[in-house]
Amino acid sequence: MNASQDSAVGERAAPRGRAGAARSAGAGRPESRVAMVRRARKINRVLADVFSYAHPELDFEDPYQLLVATVLSAQTTDLRVNQTTPRLFAAYPTPEDLAAADPAVVEEIIRPTGFFRAKTKSLIGLSAALRDEFGGEVPGRLEDLVRLPGVGRKTAHVVLGNAFGRPGITVDTHFQRLVRRWRWTEESEPEKIEAAVGEIFPKKEWTMLSHRVIFHGRRICHSRKPACGACPVAHLCPSYGEGETDPEKARKLLKYELGGQPGQRLKPPADYPGKPAPAAGP
């Protein structure tokens, strides 16, 4: 982490006593709906400041590439997808090309992403559907996208929000974990989480909210050991203390650009403060 990034996170991380006191004060009485919504919106504002450069962490140049990359991202890292898709898109630049591909060849290309047989079936199937039903173009409606093989609401919202500018909430594993830690909802099913969080924030915020929450989950609020002592929203978090609270130890848990390491994109946006990820080896 460089000095400016260290300051951006550190200045907003509450002292341990303050965060602990906030948690204890909230433990004695239920939080009202109004208070929860205010707290949730404060968290979003802080994250918007800390992660002003938040963005989709998949490399893509058009809606089709984003759709394919998002399908490939299931059960693997965005970095692994980004290292795999250049070869895939070079071989099959259009839906028509991929629809007519030899499955064995596609499987070999995408093998590094895992579950390559099922993913190959989905990619060839959705490409054929785009060719046959949508003139080779990715549709810009949720109801059309979720009809495509291998495409659910999460994938559809990623595509709609980032390729078409149509707001959507992306409920991935990071998003699910954080909204429950922050007690925005007690729901556990993605579609119900999506609906519950959608009631808290204006629709125009949904896509960027998703990016900020996911960035925070990947970099600070980890699943097994959250970096509570380096968290910019510690004073607003009812789950403070589940992770490392010592500031120095917590800073060592920060990942990607906050930890001084490359991000997940080989071609990150111009305002990304970290290093580009390395391309796949030979």
Task: Assess whether 119 carries a catalytic annotation.
Answer: no
CA–CA gap between residue 255 and residue 163 (Å, rounded): 27
- Catalytic residue selected from 97, 154, 192, 203: 154
Handedness of CA 195, 197, 203, 207 (dihedral sign): negative
Known catalytic residue: 144?
A: no
Tokens describing residue 123: 């990619």
| Unique residue bearing structure tokens 């991935």 | 172
Give CA 205 to chain center in angstroms: 15
Angle (CA) 241-245-246 rounded to 5° is: 165
In the set 59, 78, 119, 172, the catalytic residue is: 172
Tell me which H or E stretch contains 250: helix 247-251
Query: For 60, which DSSP code?
Result: -
Catalogue the active-site residues. 154, 172
